[in-house]
Structure 1
Amino acid sequence: MNDSFKHSWQVYRRLLAYIQRYWKVLILSLISMTIAALTEAAFARLLKPLIDGGFVSKDPDTIRWVPLAIIGVFMLRGLTSFINEYTASWLTGRLVQTLREEMFAKLLRLPVSFYDESQSGRLISRIANDVNQVTEAGFNVITVAVKDGVTTLGLLALLLYTDWQLTLICFVVMPAVTACMHFVGKRLRGLARENQLRMAQMTQVVSESIDCQKVVKIYGGESYEIGRFHEAADALRRNQVKQSAASSANTGVTQLMIACALAAILYFAALRAQHGDFSAGDFMSFLTAMMLLFAPIKRITGISQALQRGLAAAETIFQFLDEPEEKNAGATMLHRTRGELEMVNLSFSYPGVEKRALQGINLAIRAGETVALVGSSGSGKTTLASLVPRFYEPDSGLLLLDGKPLSDYALPALRQQIALVSQDVVLFNDTVAANIAYGALNQVSREEVIEAARAANALDFIEALPQGFDTEIGENGTRLSGGQRQRLAIARALLKNAPLLILDEATSALDTESERLVQAALDNLMKNRTTLVIAHRLSTIEQADRIVVMHQGEIVESGTHQSLLAAAGFYARLHSMQFTE
């Protein structure tokens, strides 16, 4: 048994485990498809008494009961086929739903570093497309293997019973058919993997063109994007043609071998009939069984493409489900933190990047203190703030909250203590109220939502909307201005009432009027909280308790606005540059 077969069997066995959860429905489906399959052989067998007893001997009893038996066989076939198809559809639907739900739940548990390295189009394609292909390797293959397998065995048994010498010719082609299926199967698996990649690339182009449609329009990128999509769609088309060609060649060769065997059987059967060893009923029954045998064998040989395509999709899905999740070994729960943060010799580097993003950071933040992080782009401000909610794990050093390492706290309990307002506001295609009271906050009262909006200076514009708090704001709040979106994010943070607050350039992209309203809302938000402010505009953080200046991943200065200006160092130069501008 080679490694490729072992791996395929491991993937398939893992896939079957999902179906086995519904074993009662599975057994009902298997029984019904087995009965439906056996009716094929039963029908072929009934032709012998019909021909010999009805047409040759003209027996009146045979003439009466055989047609009724045929009707009964087809009634049983219709009933069991309906049960089989219904249960098969139910099982495949459950399989798709279960896999999609597990993948989506997994998506939410993956670390931020995974998203940094992954294409959103590929992730969407896995959940939307790959799962559908898995069903072909799941219950669809079982249906063909069992139903057509039983049909084939039943018809072969009838052929052996009718004339075993003629039937032996059928077995001559079996090894050749098996070898052909194995060879083409390897080719189809590789093409199926490539097909998933091409589909993901096409999805990525569409996703980026939608997300960046304003940039595409303003910079005249339509032709470029159409070209990118053409390349991706053309590569997908060529791959699908290759799959069809390989599958068709496999089916054609297999059918040719079967046809040669059938021709030989017909020739020898005719010779046997000439010598009287074969009755007319035997020949008709044998011929019918032989012709009925052709269709299930054709379907069995054709499942190779579906199986390989499904297994290739299953491989990518299980690889995704096996991705390491965020580290959450901490057990300490937090009711409400004091908000004391301490960083001891903290260092961090992004995967695949040699230069450290943070190097030897030592910083203590008192409870309720407002600390501003300033510095040029790439100095490590956002990276340092991202370590507090454990979006990333430090390479070395310690990050302490209330004197305990962050890793000692349960991850949900830690993040419950933190509110985040960033420059890139994230809103959902839902109502204003649902965006303010998002996630764990959705149990709050409407009065609390209104108070949070009032404190965020957002109540006036919300009440002016067509449906007020029940107005749908569009994807990522596209129906609102930048200042309005920012104030909704602040209202969300106010409603959470977390003792730790991270402000990541929350006013850098706003006009003067919006900045004034947002800054007033931020002042309300920062009261009695430990606040970490990442600022580009130095005018917004002059009142901070302490300003920490960063440069190339290190802290180079720390102090109040006035003391840093007096020191005439990095901060003074940054301030002078902005003042000159």
Structure 2
Amino acid sequence: MFPNQDVTSLVLYKRVMGYLRPHWKIFLLSIITMTIAAATEPLFARLMKPLIDGGFVDRDPAAIIWTPLAIVGLFLLRGVASFINEYASSWLSGKLVQQLREEMFDRMLRLPVNYYDQHPSGRILSRIAFDVSQVSEAGFNVITVTVKDGVTVIGLLALLLYTDWKLTLICLAVMPVVAWCVRFVSRRLRGLSRKNQHDMAQLTQVLNESIDCQRIVKIYGGQGYEAGRFATSAAAIRHNLIKERSTSAASTGVTQLIIACSLAVILYYAGVQAQAGHFSAGDFMSFLTAMLMLFAPIKRITSISQTIQKGLAAAESVFAFLDETSENDTGQRQLGRPQGALVFEQVSFGYPGAERIALDDINLSVAAGETVALVGSSGSGKTTLTSLIPRFYDPDGGRILIDGVDLREFSLASLRSQIALVSQEVVLFNDTVAANIAYGRIGEVSPEEIREAARAANALEFIEAMPQGFDTLIGENGTRLSGGQRQRLAIARAILKNAPILILDEATSALDTQSERLVQSALEQLMKNRTTLVVAHRLSTIENADRIVVMHQGRIAEIGRHQELLAGSGIYSTLHRLQYQAGSE
């Protein structure tokens, strides 16, 4: 995409920093406090002059007192500055991650169906849930490492023991207090980690459902609802991350303050020893320098190169996803409630990489209110033909008209608002029964309307038998329901939408006889006064269709009513005979 790696890094950095431009004040505060925290080390070194000159050379009692107090004050300043820096940085990085995730999720909802056909859902989840969190590494940790240098703790402890083991023991005496602080903070962080895992699970749940159910989201106009659910989960993760970072920063500040207090005691003891002539100025300076270096946080010992590469690699992945082309939605006309007449004019379509085209020169007219069944062997193009109506795909050739107007002239939202879909693979959400029936229209319909839709779908009896009725959670994709119950909820959802065009894609093929009878009765209620296309496997379910279209290898082979086709010797009569023989065995 870019001519070389340097340009790539520069472009990516500029694009990442572009998200921080609206929050430049907080970013400036972070840089200032980071600089203050880093400047405390040379300031501390500057305090060595009055300490050595006054305490060791001139033996001034006042210098022995005020210098340790100044050091405590200096580290108090450092702790406050570090806390503000960590809080501001975590706020900025959390805001960056949240905004990128929301933009990626919004892009995901608007990607064409063929993108999902060509990309595994796991990669999409990884990009939104994990890659985006690495982007902040390139923008924040690099700056932190650049400003603050790290050192080796083991080498510093060895130097302290070599210089004066007694003073080192005084330093180590505060370790139990520090350990208690660490234990307390660890418990706090563990609780926050559990909360973060829960929030991440919620986020992944929304992602999974929005990917697996993307056709239902599109057809029922649920983009706004899903984006709201996602934004809520993303905000919860950001708030929890700020709590984690602020807890860690507070722990660092308190720990450093405790150690600084012990350092004040050490300085006082060393000064007394120097007055007695038992401690040289050179030894004291060596010990003091090592102590200061020991306070540096372990987090400074990181590989800046690795951080940069991880962040840039993640940024490449994130921005490549954001730059994916959305669905072709150039239509300007708004589709009111149509009569529902459909015309396919010389329609052809092929999937990328397929050996042959899925549809070849399809010409078909469906009158308003007519029920047309599509039958044929697997791979004959039945489902592909119905997928072109809500524009999950656009035809490679020809056009499709609704009430005499090309589908592409209408906006996707207005077109899909007039189409309902019930398929063999029922798509339900981990929500209540009522929320699934009213999906896409939550807040727009009354409980009475939801109840009537359930009654029309023959679902009211089993819903009322549930523990919480319409407020019962049904589990992921309705795992707590039987196949027939799930199918009837999907039918209730379509009934409530009351769209003039209905697509039934093998809605009863996976049901037992009793469930099929209930579902078929609900479907007959749903099909009244609607233009209906039925993709059927069981020919017994479409005997009463106005017309039956028999498809073979992407072409229309036969058209007629059930008795007409049965009387012939074509594909339909052969399929019917084979199914009858299989059913009688």
Taking structure 2 as the reference length, the TM-score comes to 0.73
Deviations 1:113-169 (A, max 9, x none): 1111121222222222222222222322223334559xxxxxxxxxxxxxxxxxxxx
Change (3 A) 1:344 1:492: same
* 329-338 or 68-77: bigger deviation: 68-77
Letter in 2 for 1:360: D
Change (3 A) 1:117 1:102: same
Q: 2: CA distance between counterparts of 1:50 and 1:281?
A: 12
Specify the alignment match of 1:225 in structure 2. none
Q: 1: CA distance between counterparts of 2:97 and 2:3?
A: 30
* Structure 1 residue 29, shift from structure 2 partner: 1.2
Q: 2: CA distance between counterparts of 1:332 and 1:441?
A: 26
Change (3 A) 1:85 1:346: same
Specify the alignment match of 1:320 in structure 2. 321
* Structure 1 residue 464, shift from structure 2 partner: 1.1
Q: Does 1:529 align with 2:530?
A: yes
Q: Does the 8 A contact of 1:46 with 1:285 survive in 2?
A: no
Letter in 1 for 2:528: K
Letter in 2 for 1:543: N
* Structure 1 residue 296, shift from structure 2 partner: 9.2
Specify the alignment match of 1:75 in structure 2. 76
* Structure 1 residue 280, shift from structure 2 partner: 5.9
Q: Does 1:492 align with 2:490?
A: no
Q: Does the 8 A contact of 1:371 with 1:533 survive in 2?
A: yes
Q: 2: CA distance between counterparts of 1:322 and 1:516?
A: 48
- Structure 1: any 5+ residue segments left out of the alignment? 150-202, 212-278
Q: Does the 8 A contact of 1:48 with 1:282 survive in 2?
A: no
Specify the alignment match of 1:573 in structure 2. 574
Q: 2: CA distance between counterparts of 1:2 and 1:435?
A: 49
Q: Does 1:311 align with 2:285?
A: no
Mapping of residues 225-374 of structure 1, within 5 Å? 284=285, 288=289, 292=293, 299=300, 302-374=303-375
* Structure 1 residue 338, shift from structure 2 partner: 1.4
Change (3 A) 1:282 1:408: farther
Deviations 1:488-508 (A, max 9, x none): 000000000001100000011
Change (3 A) 1:2 1:354: closer
Specify the alignment match of 1:216 in structure 2. none
* Structure 1 residue 330, shift from structure 2 partner: 0.7
Change (3 A) 1:28 1:125: same
Letter in 2 for 1:496: K
* Structure 1 residue 470, shift from structure 2 partner: 1.1
Q: 1: CA distance between counterparts of 2:379 and 2:137?
A: 48
SS at match of 1:397: strand
Specify the alignment match of 2:483 in structure 1. 482
Deviations 1:51-89 (A, max 9, x none): 123211234554454333323221211111111111112
Q: 2: CA distance between counterparts of 1:440 and 1:394?
A: 30
Specify the alignment match of 1:34 in structure 2. 35
Letter in 2 for 1:558: I
* Structure 1 residue 566, shift from structure 2 partner: 2.8
Q: Does the 8 A contact of 1:549 with 1:556 survive in 2?
A: yes
* Structure 1 residue 541, shift from structure 2 partner: 0.8
Mapping of residues 33-432 of structure 1, within 5 Å? 33-60=34-61, 62-148=63-149, 284=285, 288=289, 292=293, 299=300, 302-432=303-433
Q: 2: CA distance between counterparts of 1:549 and 1:84?
A: 69
* Structure 1 residue 468, shift from structure 2 partner: 1.1
Q: 1: CA distance between counterparts of 2:298 and 2:453?
A: 68
Q: 1: CA distance between counterparts of 2:298 and 2:448?
A: 69
Letter in 2 for 1:318: F
Q: 1: CA distance between counterparts of 2:297 and 2:508?
A: 68
Q: 2: CA distance between counterparts of 1:43 and 1:323?
A: 53
Q: 1: CA distance between counterparts of 2:445 and 2:299?
A: 61
Q: 1: CA distance between counterparts of 2:70 and 2:295?
A: 24
Q: Does the 8 A contact of 1:565 with 1:572 survive in 2?
A: yes
SS at match of 2:507: coil
Q: 1: CA distance between counterparts of 2:493 and 2:130?
A: 35
Specify the alignment match of 1:450 in structure 2. 451
Q: Does 1:8 align with 2:9?
A: yes
SS at match of 1:304: helix
Q: Does 1:507 align with 2:508?
A: yes
Q: Does the 8 A contact of 1:41 with 1:289 survive in 2?
A: no
Change (3 A) 1:408 1:34: same
Specify the alignment match of 2:559 in structure 1. 558
Q: Does the 8 A contact of 1:51 with 1:281 survive in 2?
A: no
Q: Does the 8 A contact of 1:47 with 1:281 survive in 2?
A: no
Q: 1: CA distance between counterparts of 2:472 and 2:374?
A: 36
Q: 2: CA distance between counterparts of 1:102 and 1:569?
A: 53
SS at match of 1:555: strand
Specify the alignment match of 1:440 in structure 2. 441
Calculate the aligned-residue CA RMSD, in Å. 2.7
Q: Does the 8 A contact of 1:419 with 1:500 survive in 2?
A: yes
SS at match of 1:329: coil
Q: Does the 8 A contact of 1:45 with 1:285 survive in 2?
A: no
Letter in 2 for 1:69: A
Q: 1: CA distance between counterparts of 2:3 and 2:430?
A: 51
Q: 1: CA distance between counterparts of 2:52 and 2:148?
A: 28
Specify the alignment match of 2:182 in structure 1. none
Q: 2: CA distance between counterparts of 1:298 and 1:414?
A: 54
Letter in 2 for 1:519: Q
* Structure 1 residue 2, shift from structure 2 partner: 8.3
Change (3 A) 1:372 1:533: same
Q: 2: CA distance between counterparts of 1:2 and 1:417?
A: 47
* 522-531 or 3-12: bigger deviation: 3-12
Q: Does the 8 A contact of 1:346 with 1:360 survive in 2?
A: yes
SS at match of 2:534: strand
Deviations 1:320-343 (A, max 9, x none): 111111111111112211111111
Letter in 2 for 1:79: V
Letter in 2 for 1:503: L
Change (3 A) 1:318 1:369: same
Q: 2: CA distance between counterparts of 1:574 and 1:487?
A: 28
